[in-house]
Amino acid sequence: MGEENHTEKTNGEIVPESDVKYYTLEEIKQHNMSKDTWLIIHDKVYDITSFLEEHPGGEEVLLEQAGADATESFEDVGHSTDAREMLQQYFVGELHMDDRKKESPKEIFITTSNESSSWTTWLIPALAAAVVGLMYRYYMLENKSS
Ligand code: HEM
């Protein structure tokens, strides 16, 4: 009765989602030493302790990012597809949803803020037209008098 074990084999299918572990930034931060090194790359968490010595770019650069998000530095180097494939073997889980950066909403705010400037878009040409009109009138009057 009380033994409801997740979504275990309801119809013989394996549910892969239940295998993925989610770690918070706080938890990942604990693994910031050379004996125990975790990195976040593209919201995925890797235990690279055994890889430190093998890294062609040296262990120092990895330790600098230990327990934190290394996505930017990883991409800045322009790692090969081989390097990206190597990542898989160190995968331990994913970054918790609450700790992920959401960048797209910011862009939406920027575009909506343009709305406020809509009245200036027609005001400036209208003023320019009025000035040109006045100058034209002035010019015609001058020509008539001479
Ligand atoms: C666990 C994650 C990482 C893996 C599996 C990895 C793997 C590799 C591999 C296989 C190479 C050889 C070149 C290539 O195939 O692209 C390489 C080079 C390099 N990596 Fe990483 N890397 C990782 C993380 C990082 C990070 C976070 C940094 C920077 C902070 C970094 C900095 C470098 C540098 C500077 C080189 C160039 C070394 C050279 O050409 O002398 N790597 N890495």
Nearest CA to ligand 1 atom 24: 74
- Answer yes or no: is pLDDT of 13 > 70: no
Interval between CA 64 and ligand 1 midpoint (Å): 13
pLDDT value, residue 115: 57
Interval between CA 74 and ligand 1 midpoint (Å): 7
pLDDT value, residue 5: 45
The predicted-structure confidence for 92-128, as pLDDT tens digits, reads as follows: 999 999 999 876 555 555 555 555 567 778 888 899 9
The predicted-structure confidence for 18-62, as pLDDT tens digits, reads as follows: 689 999 999 999 999 999 999 999 999 999 999 999 999 999 999
pTM: 0.67
Residue 40: CB atoms within 10 A of its CB come to 22
Closest-lying ligand 1 atom to the alpha carbon of residue 48: 1
pLDDT value, residue 4: 44
Q: What are phi and psi of 15, to 5 degrees?
A: -100, 105
Sign of the CA dihedral 11, 16, 17, 19? positive
Largest CA distance in the chain: 108
Nearest CA to ligand 1 atom 21: 57
CA dist 25 → 56, 59, 67, 116 (Å): 27, 22, 8, 38
